């Protein structure tokens, strides 16, 4: 396959010039390819950002759990100590942390205001933890709390967490769909540009046939020219898109890919070239068969 | 070299040619005459396999044109030089590159053949116009360039469709002299023209035969001029 593509993309001095270089469809092909690659870069970056965001939400929310303790004075302090002791013995109950009154007030400040007095808060405390427990360990923990810490409530926030996790997964999937649609649109546009370029050069094709050119020669000349033109346009568009991401203000860098995300961008011109190669080849074969 | 056996052709909306039987023998010179619309161009297209007969058969170098595939057609066309009425150049290439194009598409581009190309430019008196683009040439220059391109692969047969149609009588005669020269070198020539005055002008210099088409029928098939 690669050998066939390479063979179709090599040229001789004259065959390289058989296809006109400077007509309207040639320029349109270049511009269309650059524009689609630019949009593909943005779509890909947005999709990667959405995927990272969605994965982050999912990872955080899935394990976020609290234990609420009711009571007052020494009784409440004892309940906190017993609960932390129990959590220390349960496999998968990680990062257990008691939120004191000040921390709880901070947590509620967005809703109640910073000036809300701590003494007005109900006499309850929270212990947060990361829940990586098995079902059996979780059930055992709930049973032990019921027996040893009266007034303790194990809360995994399922009522609001599950829809949020679903949303996070949807955001990630939508990013993937956006990239797929962008690549599909790019491929379709490249196909249309290739068809237009071939149609615009029908006279050239007919003349070449009349002087003894084989279909293979004609196809090769057009596939080479259009594929390289699409590749050049896609390269320009990709570089422009990457440059835009690089110059985004610091605060909006959430859109810019990170790490391996940058490594995906150079694939865009190659995808465009492969789509162009296949489309031009198929269109050229169709047109040549029609002319026969 | 080319044999028509009761060949006919129609485009689906009426018969253009019917019941044509004749042969172009090696080294012969034929004029294909007839009024406009009599089917001269269609007959030439049957000769260079741009069309296939809808009835009967046309054999080109022994190959039945009806069964030749695309690659066979391409290879047969390299043995047939054609001077089209509208020349059919690639307008973005220079005249020199246009003339060399058959060498390129047949994989015969070489320093030696490019030397032949330059000699041909000289032969058709266009050496000073080698770098010009086709639209920059006059009608006569274009026809001579088309003739040079048609013969660069040393074809066995040369077909010319109204080669003098767009040039004055002096240039027409000059082109005819070039065709006669080629015939004297052993090439088979078929010239489609409705210009009887031109034929009369050159009849003393060439031993030609006439194929006369009227209404798609061959009225005269091979009479001596």
CA angle B54, B57, B63 (to 5 degrees): 125
A80/A210 same-domain check:
no
- Domain region containing A136: 72-150
Measured between beta carbons, the chain B residues lying within 8 angstroms of A211 are 77, 82, 101-102, 105, 149
Strand pairing partners for B29?
B189
pLDDT bucket at B129, cuts 50 / 70 / 90: very high
B74 with A12: Cβ contact below 8 A: no
Measured between beta carbons, the chain A residues lying within 8 angstroms of B70 are 214-215, 288, 292
- Could you read off the pLDDT of A80-107 as tens digits, one per residue? 888 989 888 888 888 888 888 778 778 7
Instruction: Summarize the confidence of residues A147-155 as an average pLDDT.
Output: 85
A214 with B93: Cβ contact below 8 A: no
Nearest to B74 among A15, A17, A212 (CB): A212
If you measure CA to CA, which chain A residue comes closest to B49?
A210
Count of structural domains within chain A: 2
Is B74 in CB contact (< 8 Å) with chain A? yes
**How would you class B74 by CB atoms within 10 Å of its CB: exposed for 0-12, middle for 13-18, buried for 19 or more?**
buried
Does the residue A155 lie in any domain? no
Inter-chain CB pairs, A–B, below 8 Å: 64
B180 contacts: CB under 8 Å, gap ≥ 6: B29, B202, B205, B206
Cα separation, B176 vs A255, in Å, equals: 73
Measured between beta carbons, the chain B residues lying within 8 angstroms of A204 are 90
pLDDT bucket at B18, cuts 50 / 70 / 90: confident
Closest CA to A208 of A11, A15, A12: A15
Given A150, A172, A200, the domain boundary residue is: A150
Measured between beta carbons, the chain A residues lying within 8 angstroms of B87 are none
A212 with B153: Cβ contact below 8 A: yes
**Where in chain A does DSSP place strands (E)?**
64-70, 93-99, 124-131, 152-155
Cα separation, B27 vs B208, in Å, equals: 10
Please give the DSSP secondary-structure letter assigned to residue A212.
T
In chain B, % of residues over pLDDT 70: 97
A115/A180 same-domain check:
no
Does the residue A64 lie in any domain? no
Does the residue A196 lie in any domain? yes
Given A99, A127, A150, the domain boundary residue is: A150
- Could you read off the pLDDT of B152-197 as tens digits, one per residue? 998 999 999 988 877 777 778 878 888 888 899 889 999 998 888 8
pLDDT bucket at A253, cuts 50 / 70 / 90: very low
Does the residue A77 lie in any domain? yes
Cα separation, B52 vs B130, in Å, equals: 36
Does the residue A65 lie in any domain? no
Instruction: Summarize the confidence of residues B66-70 as an average pLDDT.
Output: 92
If you measure CA to CA, which chain B residue comes closest to A22?
B92
């Amino acid at each position: 396959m690669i050998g066939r593509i390479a063979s179709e993309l090599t040229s001789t001095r004259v065959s390289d010039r058989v296809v006109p270089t400077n007509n309207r469809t040639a320029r349109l092909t270049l511009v269309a390819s650059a524009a689609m690659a630019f949009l593909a870069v943005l779509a890909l970056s947005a999709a990667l950002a959405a995927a990272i965001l969605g994965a982050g939400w999912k990872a955080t929310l899935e394990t976020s759990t609290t234990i609420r303790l009711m009571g007052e004075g020494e009784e409440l302090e004892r309940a906190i100590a017993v609960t932390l002791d129990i959590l220390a013995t349960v496999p998968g109950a990680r990062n257990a942390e008691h939120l004191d009154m000040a921390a709880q007030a901070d947590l509620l400040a967005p809703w109640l205001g910073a000036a809300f007095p701590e003494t007005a808060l109900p006499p309850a405390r929270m212990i947060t933890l990361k829940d990586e427990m098995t079902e059996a360990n979780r059930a055992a923990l709930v049973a032990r709390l019921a027996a040893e810490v009266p007034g303790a409530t194990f809360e995994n926030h399922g009522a609001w967490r599950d829809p949020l996790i679903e949303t996070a997964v949807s955001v990630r999937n939508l990013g993937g769909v956006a990239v797929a649609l962008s690549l599909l649109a790019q491929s379709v546009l490249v196909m249309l540009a290739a068809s237009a370029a071939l149609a615009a050069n029908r006279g050239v094709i007919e003349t070449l046939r009349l002087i003894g050119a084989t279909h293979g020669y004609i196809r090769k000349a057009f596939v080479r020219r259009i594929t390289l033109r699409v590749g050049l346009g896609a390269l320009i568009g990709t570089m422009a898109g990457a440059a835009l991401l690089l110059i985004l203000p610091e605060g909006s860098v959430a859109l810019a890919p990170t790490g391996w995300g940058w490594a995906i961008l150079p694939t865009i011109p190659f995808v465009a070239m492969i789509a162009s190669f296949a489309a031009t080849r198929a269109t050229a074969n169709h047109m040549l068969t029609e002319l026969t | 070299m080319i044999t028509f056996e009761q060949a006919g052709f129609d485009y689906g909306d009426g018969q253009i040619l019917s019941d044509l039987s004749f042969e172009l023998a090696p080294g012969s010179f034929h004029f294909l005459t007839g009024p406009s619309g009599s089917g001269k161009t269609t007959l030439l297209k049957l000769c260079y396999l741009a069309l296939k007969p809808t009835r009967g058969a046309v054999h080109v170098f022994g190959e039945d044109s009806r069964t030749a595939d695309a690659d066979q057609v391409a290879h047969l066309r390299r043995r047939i030089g054609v001077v089209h009425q509208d020349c059919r150049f690639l307008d973005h290439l220079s005249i020199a590159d246009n003339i060399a194009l058959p060498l390129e598409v047949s994989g015969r581009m070489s320093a030696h053949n490019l030397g032949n190309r330059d000699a041909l430019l000289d032969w058709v008196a266009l050496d000073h116009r080698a770098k010009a683009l086709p639209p920059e040439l006059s009608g006569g220059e274009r026809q001579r360039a088309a003739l040079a391109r048609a013969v660069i692969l040393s074809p066995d047969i040369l077909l010319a469709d109204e080669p003098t149609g767009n040039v004055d009588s002096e240039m027409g005669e000059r082109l005819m002299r070039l065709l006669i020269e080629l015939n004297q070198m052993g090439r088979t020539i078929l010239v489609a023209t409705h210009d009887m005055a031109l034929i009369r002008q050159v009849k003393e210099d060439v031993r030609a035969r006439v194929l006369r088409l009227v209404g798609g029928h061959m009225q005269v098939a091979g009479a001596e001029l």
